Chains A and B, each alone.
Chain A
Amino acid sequence: MVWLRRNLFSTPFNSGLTLLTLYLLWLAIPPIVDWLFLQATWSGESRAACEPNEGACWAFIDARFNQFIYGLYPSEAQWRVDLAFILLGVLFAGFFIPGVRRSWIAVLILIPYPLVAWILFSGGSWGLEEIDTAQWGGLFLTLVIAGVGITASFPLGILLALGRRSNLLVIRSISIGFIELIRGVPLISVLFMASVMLPLFLPEGVNFDKLLRALIGISLFQAAYMAEVVRGGLQAIPKGQTEAAESLGLGYWRTMQLIILPQALKLVIPGVVNTFIALFKDTTLVLIIGMFDFLGIVQAATTDPNWLGTAVEGYVFCAAVYWLFCFSMSRYSVSIERKLDTGH
């Protein structure tokens, strides 16, 4: 009762506000719950199966689920995608086993794993059938783009941030120019550039895969943002730390690696994770240059004549999946921040 009075009915104005909000919620929530669950249709062959019910047509998601996850990846080869992701899961689980050196697992994930995953995904060796990247799609493609983007943009961003704070004029100018150029333009224009202009800049006969071009575009784009986040952390480290490291005889790279970066990166974890989340959300833009990522494939499926009128269901499902990924990333960052907070 005390809690109620203090938090909801402290003043007449607050009481009025509370009552009004409660009334609006009472109006809004039951129909939404009804639509989402109670009146919904969970399985069926086409839109017609959902006609008798008032609620959502989840049968649409059910029928297209495989496509949403794998895109147009041939169904007899989908075990390869599963295997690669299970492998990644096993490697990540290694972080939680006591006694296993974490740096070893990190090295495993960063060097041999991408190669193995690449061979599993695209085939062409080990007796695996070759699958063109144009057939990749769905959540699988989204995760590939996000994963590659995150692993590439983080180190690149750190290098750019170091370059921007370097004493060497040439290095500094190149870094500043690159960062400001990229941050001043929208990602779409970078992707357009990667998809239409890049071929013009390459020597005759050299041709990049479309997916690779998009990956380069996204990684470079987010690296510029990452650089600014990391620079914020670098600026927060007192100059005395660098001077102390130098007086101990450490060179530039050792100073950075052992003294400055561990402190600076710890400070900017929230910003780094925010950039990862932004990157994850930005992967949807590849659909504009004609790739079928998760949103792209859902969008395409809603135009299927058999399932006309299921756009809301498609987008709600899609939004729920994106939300789950982004929200858990932001929660994870909060927990890491707490764990690393050694408190000064």
Chain B
Amino acid sequence: MLALWRNSRVRGWIFQLVALTLFLYFGWSLWDNLQTNLASRGITTGFNFLNTEAGFGIISHLIDYSESSTYGRAFLVGLLNTLLVSVLGIFLATLLGLLIGVGRLSNNWLISRLALGYVELIRNIPLLLQIFFWYFAVLRSLPSPRQSVNWGELFFLNNRGIYMPAPIPEQGFGWAGWALLLTLIGVVLLFRWAVRRQHQTGRIFPRWRVSIGLLIVVPLLVLALQGFPLSWELPALKGFNFKGGLVMIPEFMAILLALTIYTASYIAEIVRSGIESVNRGQTEAARSLGLTHGQTLRLIILPQALRVIIPPLTSQYLNLLKNSSLAAAVAYPELVSVFAGTVLNQTGQAVEVIAITMGVYLLISLLISLLMNWYNHKMKLVER
């Protein structure tokens, strides 16, 4: 018996068996308790509640939604709002983070100190506090609609949000979209041709400038030919509030501002360490080969820096997505606020609601990680 115990493989098996039994027993007892508790409290189970009428309004929705819509619809509204704020936040935070990260490396002492100050200040203050600051201290204390800040009668800023002109496409606007699509295909072909020609003859075609120019000019030309079939709906003060136009509500602005500013401080450090990781000799070698400053950056530094930057950047993007759930604190109707908040309170089906909410975040996290892993794999150093 003692000999068996001294055998590390046997001991491993025993250990695993015990762990598995404990794990299963733990899971089973949780499940059992859940069943008894649900039964004794008279809580219904199952996912049928998704088809029943929600009966509450949501202040901001990207798809049609009214009080008579279902809980399932409310879930979709929340999910879309989460995605909207995350995608915009990721885009803006990357821009700002890039700017500050490059600023950290500037050889201008003042700029690099300021960038360092930004990073150290923002990183060490809780995100929730920043959201509250933007929402309660800044945006909600703006003037009322009647005393809005007015920019050329087009943009109005007040405590109900920022109002801007909304584009209204008219007959024939669709053609511009088709033109854009066709140009996009053309640009892809142009790129292929330019790369092939460069490989064969060594002549360089200014592909970026030409394609960006094409992408702007062609759709505009199509619009101009039809006499610009697009009108703008201007916001106007009617009674106590503005009507018409596009509106960005303060809840949305607060969470977007806070997420952007907070995440940018992390992205800046990632960008800085990525660029610093590229050996200085690389720059010197590239310059001695006659590459210009821009080419050195684009062809030599960035591809190598990106390899270091991508993995932590991905986790920052995922953090931003997860942090967007803090919008619940200022009642911006995103997934957690709508679904794990209002819907849970109304239906009382905590288990299903929390499981769906967590499942959605898990799924998105998993998808983004897969995507980034694929990209990472593509960018990997190909060694001889």
Instruction: Mark interface residues in B246-269 (1 if CB within 8 Å of A CB, else 0).
Output: 000000000000000000000000
Which residue from B36, B137, B326, B358 sits with its C-beta under 8 Å from A204?
Answer: B36
In the bound complex, do residue A327 and residue B124 qualify as a contact, i.e. CB atoms below 8 Å apart? Answer: yes
B59 at the interface (CB under 8 A from A): no
Interface set, chain B 127-175, CB cutoff 8 A to A: 127-129, 132-133, 136-137, 141
CB distance from B236 to the nearest CB of A (A): 30
Q: In the bound complex, what is the Cα–Cα distance between A294 and B109 (angstroms)?
A: 37
Instruction: Mark interface residues in B107-132 (1 if CB within 8 Å of A CB, else 0).
Output: 11111001000001101111111001
Question: How would you classify the secondary structure of chain B's contact residues: helix, strand, loop or mixed?
Answer: helix
Instruction: Mark interface residues in A9-38 (1 if CB within 8 Å of B CB, else 0).
Output: 010001001100110000000000000000
Contacts of B129 in A (CB 8 A): 284, 295, 315, 318-319, 322
The residue of chain B having its C-beta at the shortest distance from the C-beta of A288 within the complex is B329
Interface set, chain B 92-114, CB cutoff 8 A to A: 107-111, 114
In the bound complex, do residue B132 and residue A322 qualify as a contact, i.e. CB atoms below 8 Å apart? Answer: no
Contacts of A167 in B (CB 8 A): 12
Q: Which of B15-23, B225-233, B291-299 is the contact stretch? A: B15-23
Q: A7-B108, A171-B16 given as contacts; is B132 within 8 A of A189 (CB)?
A: no
In the bound complex, do residue A311 and residue B110 qualify as a contact, i.e. CB atoms below 8 Å apart? Answer: no
B342 at the interface (CB under 8 A from A): no
In the bound complex, do residue B137 and residue A311 qualify as a contact, i.e. CB atoms below 8 Å apart? Answer: yes
Which residue from A192, A277, A319 sits with its C-beta under 8 Å from B354?
Answer: A192
Which residue from A170, A188, A323 sits with its C-beta under 8 Å from B336?
Answer: A188
CB distance from A218 to the nearest CB of B (A): 13
Q: In the bound complex, what is the Cα–Cα distance between A14 and B103 (angstroms)?
A: 12
B325 at the interface (CB under 8 A from A): yes
Interface set, chain A 99-141, CB cutoff 8 A to B: none
Instruction: Mark interface residues in B355-372 (1 if CB within 8 Å of A CB, else 0).
Output: 001100110011000000
Q: Which 7 A-B pairs have the closest CB atoms?
A: A326-B124, A7-B109, A186-B322, A281-B126, A184-B362, A186-B325, A184-B365
23 contacts between A and B (CB under 8 A): A7-B107, A7-B108, A8-B109, A8-B110, A14-B108, A17-B108, A18-B110, A18-B111, A170-B16, A171-B15, A171-B16, A185-B358, A192-B357, A199-B37, A200-B33, A200-B34, A201-B33, A202-B33, A202-B37, A299-B132, A299-B136, A322-B125, A322-B126
| Residue positions of A touching B, CB distance < 8 A | 7-8, 10, 14, 17-18, 21-22, 167-171, 174, 181, 183-189, 192-193, 196-197, 199-204, 277, 281-282, 284-285, 287-288, 295, 299, 302, 309, 311-312, 315, 318-319, 322-323, 326-327, 330
